[in-house]
């Protein structure tokens, strides 16, 4: 890191600390939804009036959606075992991130959040804690939980709870990757079913992304997943049950070997792991999603010098085609909450993917151009994914998710009347 970069980082860190501390510590709080200015209003808000909805909910738990904020509240929950790129810093140190998710839920989809940082002695204790507190929420967003136990935790909670449980590091990332990839493939004139994909990384985001792409038509036999020890393949005896899903009888054992004639590289690993020879070895019209943050697997300026037929995305906002989870999770939960969904299933995820891909092909409104100081922005190699401040994200994604929930039979409420007709 250069001295200039170090100074910039120190200045930004100081600004971030001031932002979090002043004028009031933290980023989220409580807003009153009903007036409480008179004795009568106090008697309605609390005793004795509050007894009336208590009786209704005791008789019918679904009445909680009518008389409380359950239907618009998501719990954002972590054990602090994989916080951003900082690792296992513990649940309390993860609280700023959980509050940050609360900001995004509220800012982009008007969803209220309670953040819970769970200090649990075991995975089972964490699971039971979440089950014990879940009844007051309309959904659970799991966050910053390390692989591989994040898969087990989500599976157990999804099986035992009757509200959506969504691990954003898995499914949120997978949805944005899949949407961007569909559009990149169209630009490169390739088909999902006929491409070779190299996935550099084998954690939560990698496994969930490849699972979703297979659900959407990718050929599992043409996926090469690569971890620190090389290609995930049957010849290895050190694979957990989740990596084994992508183990085949492959001749390739290294990243360099896997990259030969690859159409797509999805990097969800670490900085500067992809070299010039890797990019040169890819097929014609390659696609690279280098998503390590803040330093990608290969910088766009380097990759584009090597290949002038490349479409590329990163996780950074200062390059075109940012893969950013805020494009997904607020609006996915909005659609799920609006129909009181029991879960967020594959049908709802695929609907979100296709809606997000479709939005990137629509004309970009002027307010987006102003927000990003652009004169023009249109579907093409440098615009395959919508921007986070596109006001149409809620319209496109929430509607698609709600419709998919109704169509797949996991909705407990009808398609909302304030949404466009269900057959549109």
Quote the pLDDT of residue 154.
Answer: 97
**7 and 153 belong to one structural domain:** yes
Decide: helix, strand or coil at residue 115: strand
Quote the pLDDT of residue 270.
Answer: 93
Closest CA to 270 of 238, 228, 307: 228
406 within domain boundaries: no
**98 and 142 belong to one structural domain:** yes
**61 and 76 belong to one structural domain:** no
**23 and 104 belong to one structural domain:** yes
Closest CA to 103 of 29, 33, 23: 29
348 within domain boundaries: no
**217 and 156 belong to one structural domain:** no
Quote the pLDDT of residue 1.
Answer: 62
Total of domains in the chain: 3
**238 and 203 belong to one structural domain:** yes
Task: Find the angle CA(377)-CA(331)-CA(90) to the nearest 5 degrees.
Answer: 110
244 within domain boundaries: yes
Domain of 232, CATH number, reads: 3.40.50.720
Handedness of CA 225, 230, 231, 236 (dihedral sign): negative
Residue 383 Cα distances to 194, 360, 393, angstroms: 23, 7, 15
385 within domain boundaries: no
Query: Can you list the residues of the chain whose pLDDT is less than 50?
Result: 424
N- to C-terminal Cα separation, the chain:
52
Last-in-domain residue among 259, 294, 314: 314
Quote the pLDDT of residue 423.
Answer: 61
**200 and 98 belong to one structural domain:** no
Quote the pLDDT of residue 78.
Answer: 97
Annotated catalytic residues are 46, 101
24 within domain boundaries: yes
Q: What is the pTM of this model?
A: 0.94
Domain of 8, CATH number, reads: 3.40.50.10380
**Lookup: tokens for 242:** 């989740």
**248 and 152 belong to one structural domain:** no
Domain that holds residue 221: 186-314
């Amino acid at each position: 890191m250069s001295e200039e970069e170090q100074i910039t980082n120190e200045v930004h860190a100081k600004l971030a600390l001031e932002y979090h501390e002043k004028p009031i510590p933290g980023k989220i709080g409580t807003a009153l939804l009903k007036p409480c200015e008179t004795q009568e209003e106090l008697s309605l808000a609390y005793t004795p009036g509050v007894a009336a909805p208590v009786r209704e909910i005791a008789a019918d738990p679904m009445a909680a959606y009518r008389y409380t904020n359950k239907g618009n509240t998501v719990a954002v929950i972590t054990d602090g075992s994989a916080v951003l790129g900082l690792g296992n810093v513990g649940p309390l140190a993860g609280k700023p991130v959980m509050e940050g998710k609360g900001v995004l839920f509220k800012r982009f989809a008007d969803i209220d959040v309670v953040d819970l940082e769970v200090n649990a002695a075991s995975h089972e204790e964490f699971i039971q804690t979440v089950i014990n507190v879940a009844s007051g929420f309309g959904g659970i967003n799991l966050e910053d939980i390390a692989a591989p136990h994040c898969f087990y935790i989500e599976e157990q909670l999804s099986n035992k709870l009757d509200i959506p449980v969504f691990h954003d590091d898995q499914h949120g990332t997978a949805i944005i990757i899949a949407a961007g990839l569909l559009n990149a493939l169209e630009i490169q004139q390739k088909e999902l079913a006929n491409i070779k994909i190299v996935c550099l990384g084998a954690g939560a985001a990698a496994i969930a992304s490849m699972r979703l792409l297979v659900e959407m038509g990718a050929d599992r036999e043409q996926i090469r997943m690569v971890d620190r020890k090389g290609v995930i393949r049957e010849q290895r005896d050190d694979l957990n049950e989740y990596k084994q899903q992508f183990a085949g009888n492959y001749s390739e054992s290294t990243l360099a070997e896997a990259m030969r004639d690859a159409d797509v590289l999805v990097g969800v690993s670490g900085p500067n792991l992809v070299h010039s020879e890797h990019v040169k070895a890819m097929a014609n019209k390659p696609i690279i999603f280098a998503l390590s943050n803040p330093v990608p697997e290969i910088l766009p300026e380097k990759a584009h010098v090597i290949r002038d037929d490349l479409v590329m995305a990163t996780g950074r906002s200062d390059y075109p085609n940012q893969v950013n989870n805020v494009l997904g999770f607020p609006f996915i939960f909005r659609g799920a909450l609006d129909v009181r969904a029991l879960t967020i299933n594959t049908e709802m995820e695929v609907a979100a993917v296709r809606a997000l891909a479709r939005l990137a092909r629509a004309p970009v409104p002027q307010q987006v151009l102003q927000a990003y100081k652009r004169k023009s922005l249109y579907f093409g190699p440098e615009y395959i994914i919508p921007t986070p401040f596109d006001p149409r994200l809620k319209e496109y994604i929430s509607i698609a998710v709600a419709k998919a929930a109704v169509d797949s039979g996991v909705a407990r409420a009808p398609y909302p009347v304030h949404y466009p007709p269900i057959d549109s």
